[in-house]
Amino acid sequence: MFDDLRDLYQEVIFDHNRNPRNFHVMQDADRKVEGFNPLCGDRLTLFLKMDGDKITDASFQGSGCAISTASVSLMTEIIKGKTEAEAEDLFSKFHEMTTGKSKEINLEAIGKLAVLAGVREYPARVKCATLAWHTLDAAIKNEQDSISTE
């Protein structure tokens, strides 16, 4: 019945929506940043554990649509072990993919995140996919906004 939507709602997305990964409060987080999409009311809190400029752990809390939940869930998986610079690089590749700026999807660089490429065809939903990454970007850039638990 929803054949047209197969590109947008891939099975991986349903899976992450049903069972989001790293979905918990991180008591000893080094950075904690809130992301908010006023258009749809989606809210998420991103927690990062850092070792120098390396992200050693990531988790989140919040509620959102399937696209945004899957996006943040996948993101917390993929950024673990990455440096800030590597994470930012991934963000820009992800951004290019979801906004359709680059038609080619560099599977090697983007890995599992490719399942979110379908939002390109749904301009109203791009923000759902990118909210997680904008929140991460804020966590990396705006250290003064982040809460240190130390």
* Residues near other proteins (CB under 8 A): 1-2, 4-5, 8-9, 14, 17-18, 39-43, 63-67, 122, 124-125, 128
Choice between 11 and 104, CB closer to other proteins: 11
Shortest distance in whole angstroms from residue 41 CB to other proteins: 3
Shortest distance in whole angstroms from residue 148 CB to other proteins: 29
Report whether 64 contacts 44 (CB < 8 A): yes
Choice between 17 and 99, CB closer to other proteins: 17
Shortest distance in whole angstroms from residue 73 CB to other proteins: 14
| Alpha carbon distance 13, 5 (integer Å) | 12
Shortest distance in whole angstroms from residue 35 CB to other proteins: 13
Contacts of 58 (CB under 8 A, 6+ apart): 22, 46, 47, 48, 49, 75, 76, 79, 80
Per-residue DSSP letters for 57-70? Answer: EEEEEEE--HHHHH
Choice between 31 and 125, CB closer to other proteins: 125
Per-residue DSSP letters for 108-140? Answer: HHHGGGGGGGGGGG-GGGHHHHHHHHHHHHHHH
Shortest distance in whole angstroms from residue 110 CB to other proteins: 22
Q: What is the dihedral of CA 121, 123, 128, 131, to 10 degrees?
A: 110
Choice between 66 and 105, CB closer to other proteins: 66
Lookup: tokens for 34 = 């809130």
